[in-house]
Structure 1
Amino acid sequence: MSEHSCLDLLDPTRRAILVALKRLHAATVEEIAVHCFLSVGAARQHLQTLAAQGLVSHEPERRGPGRPRHRYLLTPRAEALFPKLHQQALINLLEALAAEPAEVRERVLERLEASTIETYRAAFERESRGSPLRGVVAVFEQAGYMPEVDERAGETRLVLHHCPVAAAAAVDPLLCEAEQNCLAAALKETPLRRVAWRPAGDPVCIYLLEPGDG
Structure 2
Amino acid sequence: MIVESEGHFFQTTRGKIVESLGRTGGATAREIAAELGLTPNAVRQQLSALATESLVQTRPTRRGPTKPTLLYHLTQKAERLFPQRTDQLLHLVLNQIADDDGGERINDLFRSIGKRSAEKFRHRLEGKDYAGKVHELAAILREQGVIADVEQRADGKLVLREHNCPFAGSVRNHPEVCTLIHTVMDELLPGEQNHTTSFAKGNDVCTFELTADVAETAAEAVKMGRS
Cα distance, 1:112 vs structure 2: 0.9
> What is the aligned partner in structure 1 of residue 149 from structure 2?
148
Instruction: State whether residues 146 and 166 of structure 2, in contact with CA within 8 Å, keep that contact through their aligned partners in structure 1.
Output: yes
Q: TM-score, normalised by structure 2?
A: 0.64
Q: Aligned-residue CA RMSD in angstroms? A: 3.9
Cα distance, 1:22 vs structure 2: 3.3
The one of 116, 120, 126 aligned to 1:119: 116
Gap change, CA 1:61 and 1:24, over 3 Å in 2: same
Q: Which amino acid aligns with 1:160?
A: E
Q: Distance in 2 between matches of 1:3 and 1:144?
A: 11
Instruction: State whether residues 171 and 199 of structure 2, in contact with CA within 8 Å, keep that contact through their aligned partners in structure 1.
Output: no
Instruction: State whether residues 169 and 175 of structure 1, in contact with CA within 8 Å, keep that contact through their aligned partners in structure 2.
Output: yes
> What is the aligned partner in structure 1 of residue 171 from structure 2?
169
Q: Which amino acid aligns with 1:129?
A: E
Gap change, CA 1:142 and 1:72, over 3 Å in 2: closer
Q: Distance in 2 between matches of 1:94 and 1:213?
A: 38
Q: Distance in 2 between matches of 1:159 and 1:173?
A: 17
Q: Distance in 2 between matches of 1:151 and 1:110?
A: 30
SS at match of 2:92: helix
Q: Distance in 2 between matches of 1:71 and 1:195?
A: 32
Q: TM-score, normalised by structure 1?
A: 0.67
SS at match of 2:26: coil
Q: Distance in 1 between matches of 2:214 and 2:166?
A: 33
Structure 2 runs not aligned, ≥5 long: 216-227
Cα distance, 1:28 vs structure 2: 2.5
Instruction: State whether residues 198 and 207 of structure 2, in contact with CA within 8 Å, keep that contact through their aligned partners in structure 1.
Output: yes
Measured against aligned partners, the alpha-carbon deviations of 1:30-71 in whole angstroms (never above 9, x if no partner) come to 20132341325x645654553454322456767667777654
Q: Distance in 1 between matches of 2:195 and 2:113?
A: 20
> What is the aligned partner in structure 2 of residue 73 from structure 1?
73
> What is the aligned partner in structure 1 of residue 225 from structure 2?
none
Between the two proteins, the alignment pairs up a number of residues equal to 203
SS at match of 2:102: helix
> What is the aligned partner in structure 2 of residue 106 from structure 1?
103
Q: Distance in 2 between matches of 1:150 and 1:79?
A: 25
Gap change, CA 1:211 and 1:51, over 3 Å in 2: same
Q: Distance in 2 between matches of 1:97 and 1:59?
A: 46
Pair 1:4-2:1 in alignment: no
My pick for the range that moved more, 55-64 or 119-128, is 55-64
> What is the aligned partner in structure 2 of residue 34 from structure 1?
34
Identity %: 30
> What is the aligned partner in structure 1 of residue 186 from structure 2?
185
